[in-house]
Amino acid sequence: MMVDVIVAGGGPTGMMLAGELTLAGVDVAVVERRPTPELVGSRAGGFHSRTLEVLDQRGIVDRFLAEGQTVQAAAFAGTTLDVSDFPTRHPYSLGLWQNHIERILAGWIGELGVPLHRGREVAGFVQDEGGLDVLLAGGERMRARYLVAADGGRSAIRKAAGIGFPGWDATRSSLIAEVEVAEETPAGIRIDETGIHGLHPMEDGRTVRVIVTEQQLGPASEPTLADLGKALTVVYGTDFGVHSPTWISRFTDATRQAEAYRSGRVLLAGDAAHIHSPAGGQGIGLGIQDAVNLGWKLAQVVNGVSPESLLDTYHAERHPAGARALKHTMALSVVQRVDPRIGALADVVTDLLTIDEARKRLAGLVSGLDVRYDLGGGHPLPEHPLLGRRMPDLDLATARGTLRVFSLLHGARGALLNLGEPGSVGAGRWRDRVQLVDASYAGAWELPVIGTVSAPTAVLVRPDGYVAWVGDGSRAGLEDALGTWFGPPTSAT
């Protein structure tokens, strides 16, 4: 079997990437070791603002909003980082368990016709100049031009590719589970010297979602019901008669990041590229944003539009973004501990967060709305604050009526927005790859954290929603930006 791209891992990151590639006309196959769609050991509970924007860019955010709950969930040191005043259509987090997230994404890629092969795991691969021979457990072989590892923090593909995974070992572990109970359980969160514990009774009245920090760092083996009962008894004085577990899982605060997100024809995304404490709830969003950054670039290389060097920008952009998020989760994990010295630090941070500028800066990081890629090298004009940042979802006035910017990105194609005189800018020999939209916008241009910025006369938006060029009354640098992000120009005039 021969395909353009094999995505190893059918979780949120893998499915999002498969959808991105399919939108761009790439032949992709997903292989997932789980034999059924049922998710065992879910610990992700939703998305922050930028991930919701990413889903909005593809026209599927309403599917998630219909099933989740919008809340102000971003927090640090016990202080809520309210983003309700941020300039975005999604100034909130969405609470939605991962099993529902995966079901919705599976429905989307199913509509796109993406084959998802369950019960199959990559056992090895051999790279050559033209692609890879991928061996699946059980002896089946597949051939692909590229292999993307979205197979989790213990990624066998990352290890086989020889990519280092430096970082910090775990200092504590927690158990998370869904179990039935024989006793009435209190609902809510408890914090003590060991860590954070919580009990959340489910709607059926019998099942409880449990999270409990273990007294000692747990082993790498799969946890048992006895492990859970012991940990509960230490904290609550009873195990509540837990029985009939739906699933039990263990997670830690280990923090690691791949040295490289690419090795030849092998690329890493999601937990295969970075692991961290779930504190702050950024993990699933980081993976989806990895997928959307990589997808259009890999598609252009596969389709012969761009040189293979475009793939180097994936690491250059997503590695620093991931490193910032990992640093934040480490800090957040520390201030969650109950200790007089750490408590004093948390009090200082809490006091600082009463300053609005500090609140906005930290909220921008947690929400993902402040990400800025370094795209300014060699730009002939002073950098506009928009360059490298996510494009605001403006309501543009066009000849076809009002048009949302994000609606232009539903097909994962770039767009050149001409906001000046009609015909003053054009896509030229890239017009088959980039949508040209003549439009106007009368409102203020606002960016999260940054605030109001000067209105540009034109903007080049990449398929992932980030601004690749800003016009300020001149076309200077436009062709360079088009060539960098959308490949060499066609020979047609």
| One-character DSSP codes across 203-254 | TTSSEEEEEEE-SSPPPSSPP-HHHHHHHHHHHHSS-TT-EEEEEEEEEE--
Q: Which helix (H) or strand (E) holds 283?
A: helix 283-302
Taking the C-alpha atoms of residue 420 and residue 474, their distance in angstroms, rounded to an integer, is: 10
| Contacts by 157-163, CB closer than 8 A, 24 or more apart | 157/8, 157/122, 157/125, 157/266, 157/268, 157/272, 158/258, 158/268, 158/272, 158/273, 160/124, 160/125, 161/263, 161/264, 161/266, 162/263, 163/258, 163/259, 163/260, 163/263, 163/266, 163/268
- Architecture of the CATH domain 173-252: 2-Layer Sandwich (3.30)
Taking the C-alpha atoms of residue 144 and residue 89, their distance in angstroms, rounded to an integer, is: 39
Please answer whether residues 162 and 127 qualify as being in contact, where contact means their C-beta atoms are separated by less than 8 angstroms. Answer: no
One of 3.30.1340.10, 3.40.30.120, 2.30.110.10, 2.160.10.10 is the CATH number of 395-486, namely 3.40.30.120
CA end-to-end span of the chain: 39
DSSP-based three-state secondary structure for 46 = strand
- Give the 3-state secondary structure percentages of the chain, helix then strand then coil, rounded to 5: 30, 25, 45
Residues 6+ apart with CB under 8 A from 25: 299, 303
Q: In what order do the strands lie in the sheet with 434-438?
A: 434-438, 414-418, 458-461, 467-471
Nearest to 406 by CA among 392, 418, 420: 392
| pTM of the predicted model over 0.85 | yes
Taking the C-alpha atoms of residue 78 and residue 350, their distance in angstroms, rounded to an integer, is: 8
Please answer whether residues 104 and 11 qualify as being in contact, where contact means their C-beta atoms are separated by less than 8 angstroms. Answer: no
Residues 6+ apart with CB under 8 A from 410: 57, 58, 59
Location of structure tokens 């869904």: 178
Domain with CATH 3.40.30.120 in the chain: 395-486
Domain with CATH 3.50.50.60 in the chain: 2-167+256-367
CATH homologous superfamily of 2-167+256-367: FAD/NAD(P)-binding domain (3.50.50.60)
Per-residue tens of pLDDT for the chain, all 493 residues: 799 999 999 999 999 999 999 999 999 999 999 888 766 555 668 999 999 999 999 999 999 999 999 999 888 887 889 999 999 999 999 999 888 999 999 999 999 999 999 999 999 999 999 999 999 998 899 999 999 999 999 999 999 999 999 999 998 899 999 999 988 888 888 888 888 899 988 877 788 999 999 989 988 888 999 999 999 999 999 999 999 998 898 888 899 999 999 999 999 999 999 999 887 778 899 999 999 999 999 999 999 999 999 999 999 999 999 999 999 888 888 887 777 888 898 889 899 999 999 999 999 999 999 999 998 654 545 689 999 999 999 999 999 899 999 999 999 999 999 999 888 899 999 999 999 999 999 999 999 999 999 999 999 999 999 999 999 888 889 999 999 999 999 875 4
Residues 6+ apart with CB under 8 A from 139: none
Domain with CATH 3.30.70.2450 in the chain: 173-252
The type of residue at 289 is Q
Instruction: Please give the backbone phi and psi of residue 456, each rounded to the nearest 5 degrees, phi first.
Output: -80, 165
Q: Which pair of structure tokens corresponds to residue 255?
A: 């923090």
Residues 6+ apart with CB under 8 A from 390: 50, 53, 369, 371, 465, 466, 467
Q: Rounded to whole angstroms, what are the CA distances from 365 to 119, 272, 337, 385, 437?
A: 37, 22, 22, 17, 31
Sign of CA dihedral 39, 41, 47, 50: negative
Q: Which pair of structure tokens corresponds to residue 264?
A: 């030849």
Bridge partners, 263 (sequence order): 266
Sign of CA dihedral 278, 104, 465, 163: positive
Distance from the Cα of residue 219 to its chain's centroid: 28
Location of structure tokens 């000067």: 454
Q: Rounded to whole angstroms, what are the CA distances from 69 to 12, 64, 282, 286?
A: 19, 9, 17, 20
Using a 10 angstrom Cβ sphere, with 0-12 exposed, 13-18 middle and 19 or more buried, the burial of residue 298 is buried
